[in-house]
Structure 1
Amino acid sequence: MKLHIVPARTGLAWVRSGITTFWRQPLAFAGLFFMFMASMSVAMMLPFLGIALALVLLPALTLGMMAATREAVDGRFPMPLVLFTAFREGKARTVAMLQLGAIYAAGFFGIMGFSAVFDGGEFARIYLFGGALTPEVMKAPGFQAAMWAATLGYLPLSMMFWHAPALVHWERVAPVKSLFFSLVACVRNFKAFMLYTLGWLAVFIGAGVTVMFVSGLFGSPGIATAALVPAALMMAAMFFTSMWFTVRDCFITPGEPG
Structure 2
Amino acid sequence: MNLQIVPARTGLHWATQGVRTFWQQPLAMSGLFFLFMATVSLVSIVPFIGGALALVLLPALTLGMMVATQTALQGKFPMPSVLFSALKAGSQRKSMFQLGGWYAVLFLGVMVVSMLADGGTFAKVYFGGSPMTPEVVNSPSFQTALWVSMVLYIPVSMMFWHAPALVYWHGLPAAKSLFFSFVACWRNLKAFAVYLLVWIGIFTGSGILALLIASLLGDPQLMMAVLMPMALMVAAMFFTSMLFTVQDCFSASPEGPV
TM-score by length of 1: 0.96
2:244 and 2:115 map into 1 onto residues whose CA distance is: 36
2:166 and 2:112 map into 1 onto residues whose CA distance is: 28
Amino acid corresponding to residue 150 of structure 2 in structure 1:
T
Query: Is 1:179 aligned with 2:175?
Result: no
Alignment of 1:215-230 (within 5 A): 215-230=214-229
> Could you tell me which residue of structure 2 aligns to residue 21 of structure 1?
21
Q: Deviations over 1:8-43 (max 9, x none)?
A: 111011111111101100111111111101110110
Superposition misfits of 4+ residues, deviation over 4 angstroms: none
Amino acid corresponding to residue 233 of structure 1 in structure 2:
L
Shift in Å, 1:211:
1.6
Shift in Å, 1:136:
2.3
Query: Higher mean Cα deviation, 165-174 or 127-136?
Result: 127-136
> Could you tell me which residue of structure 2 aligns to residue 80 of structure 1?
80
Amino acid corresponding to residue 241 of structure 2 in structure 1:
S
SS of the aligned residue for 2:56 comes to helix
> Could you tell me which residue of structure 1 aligns to residue 31 of structure 2?
31
Q: Deviations over 1:120-160 (max 9, x none)?
A: 11111221133222222223222221111111111110010
1:215 and 1:140 map into 2 onto residues whose CA distance is: 30
Amino acid corresponding to residue 101 of structure 1 in structure 2:
G
Alignment of 1:199-210 (within 5 A): 199-210=198-209
Amino acid corresponding to residue 157 of structure 1 in structure 2:
V
Q: Give aligned pairs, total.
A: 256
1:240 and 1:12 map into 2 onto residues whose CA distance is: 15
Shift in Å, 1:253:
2.9
Alignment of 1:226-241 (within 5 A): 226-241=225-240
> Could you tell me which residue of structure 1 aligns to residue 139 of structure 2?
140
Q: Where does structure 2 lack aligned partners over 5 or more consecutive residues?
A: none
Query: Is 1:169 aligned with 2:133?
Result: no
SS of the aligned residue for 1:221 comes to coil
Shift in Å, 1:174:
1.0
1:204 and 1:138 map into 2 onto residues whose CA distance is: 21
Shift in Å, 1:77:
1.6
2:116 and 2:83 map into 1 onto residues whose CA distance is: 37
2:70 and 2:251 map into 1 onto residues whose CA distance is: 12
Query: Higher mean Cα deviation, 145-154 or 207-216?
Result: 207-216
Alignment of 1:45-194 (within 5 A): 45-90=45-90, 92-194=91-193
Retained in 1: the 8 A contact 2:121–2:130? no
Shift in Å, 1:197:
0.3
Task: Give the % identical residues.
Answer: 55
Q: Where does structure 1 lack aligned partners over 5 or more consecutive residues?
A: none
Q: Deviations over 1:234-256 (max 9, x none)?
A: 000000000000011111336x6
